[in-house]
Structure 1
Amino acid sequence: MITSNRRLALLSAFVLTGCAAPQTSPRAPEARAEPSHAETVPSPTGDIHDFDFEVGNWTLANRRLKARGVGSQDWEEFLSYSRGTQYLGGMVSVDEMTLPSKGFSGLTVRVFNPTTRQWSIYWVNSKVGRLDPPQVGGFNGNRGEFYGEDEDNGRHVKVRYIWIKSGPDTAHWEQAFSYDGGRTWETNWMNELTRTSR
């Protein structure tokens, strides 16, 4: 029969040797998917009024690479025209762009999420008839950055839009693709926007 003192001594030894609780083996690392857009690219936030300036009529002077992702410096230049409108108190910003020399039109739909304070920008053109994956982000002052992922001729790309507001009647937009996960970027389309009465 174990006395009270002996029982206390055994219990103390049990605790001191680390046996008071079952030992667990180290956990195996959890399976982790490839880093998501949010983990690899900055996600700027913005304000519901970021695209207020876009309301109205614009003429766009476009420069677009003739071939993307091949190191080309051969650009084409053409004009396009757009008209911007807003819905839901500015939470939704829409513009329709016509490109007379290219034979198609496009529609941009921007939706503001008040919880994340970010815009999701969707593009659809009349040749394809589907919404492209969104670019997500916002403005810091007069500069906006928006990031997403898509495919370019079967190649996975990260996509970046940059907006620069340079006054009430002028703005700059550009699109760049990264074919190496965001380490380097190739700008492939730019336009200079000028407000018109058209």
Structure 2
Amino acid sequence: MSANDFDFLHGQWRVANRKIADIPGRGTEWVEFEARAEARPLLGGAAIIDSIFADDWEGMTLRQYDPAGDVWRIWWASTRAPGELDPPLEGRFDGEHGVFFGDDVVGGHEVKLRFDWTAGADPVWQQQFSYDGGETWETNWVMRFTRA
């Protein structure tokens, strides 16, 4: 666990997305689409910012390492929710696997969020929601990254 945990993400990517089309936890139809992404370090490497571009929306993520707490915090914003910054998720890596948790409201429902990162040459990100306080988790978005 260190400020270098997300170094694998620096650079330009093609991103294969598989996502539940409706509000997660309430829909079952999966859609697939391509996007492109670019990530770069900030603050001497203690933070990383990325942008992702799909056909009909754009998003950005800020990840910042807190050495005192030995955790990463992750914030998300997109053109689908103008002027909003989602509450942060917090977590850490154990080897090449990172797990991050947070709370939010989605479609009017309180939800626990989980991000799973698998680092490496072809990283994978998964988002899961829990509507029962973390007892069960539903994967609703998977991104597979390939170098551009």
Same fold? TM cut 0.5: yes
Q: TM-score normalised to the size of structure 1? A: 0.72
> Would you say 1:59 and 2:14 are equivalent positions?
yes
Is the partner of 1:93 in helix, strand or coil? strand
Query: CA-atom RMSD, angstroms?
Result: 1.0
Partner of 2:117: 163
Is the partner of 2:123 in helix, strand or coil? strand
> Would you say 1:144 and 2:98 are equivalent positions?
yes
Alpha-carbon offset, residue 121 of structure 1: 0.2
Partner of 2:134: 182
Partner of 2:80: 127
Superposition map of 1:36-55 within 5 A? 46-55=1-10
Structure with the greater relative contact order (CA < 8 A, sep ≥ 6): 1 or 2? 2
Is the partner of 1:127 in helix, strand or coil? coil
Q: TM-score normalised to the size of structure 2? A: 0.95
Distance 1:131 1:191 in 2: 20
Question: Which segments of structure 1 move beyond 3 Å, counting only runs of 4 or more?
Answer: none
Identity %: 40
Instruction: Give the structure with the larger strand fraction.
Output: 2
Distance 1:65 1:71 in 2: 7
> Would you say 1:112 and 2:65 are equivalent positions?
yes
Partner of 1:4: none
1:69 to 25, 44, 47: 25
Q: How many residues align?
A: 146
Instruction: Give the structure with the larger helix fraction.
Output: 1
Distance 2:63 2:130 in 1: 22
Is the partner of 1:49 in helix, strand or coil? coil
Alpha-carbon offset, residue 181 of structure 1: 0.2
Amino acid at match of 2:3: I
- Paired residues of 2:20 and 2:27 also in contact (CA < 8 A): no
Distance 1:136 1:180 in 2: 19
Distance 2:21 2:51 in 1: 23
Amino acid at match of 2:124: H
Alpha-carbon offset, residue 71 of structure 1: 6.0
Alpha-carbon offset, residue 69 of structure 1: 1.1
Consecutive unaligned residues of structure 2, counting only runs of 5 or more, are none
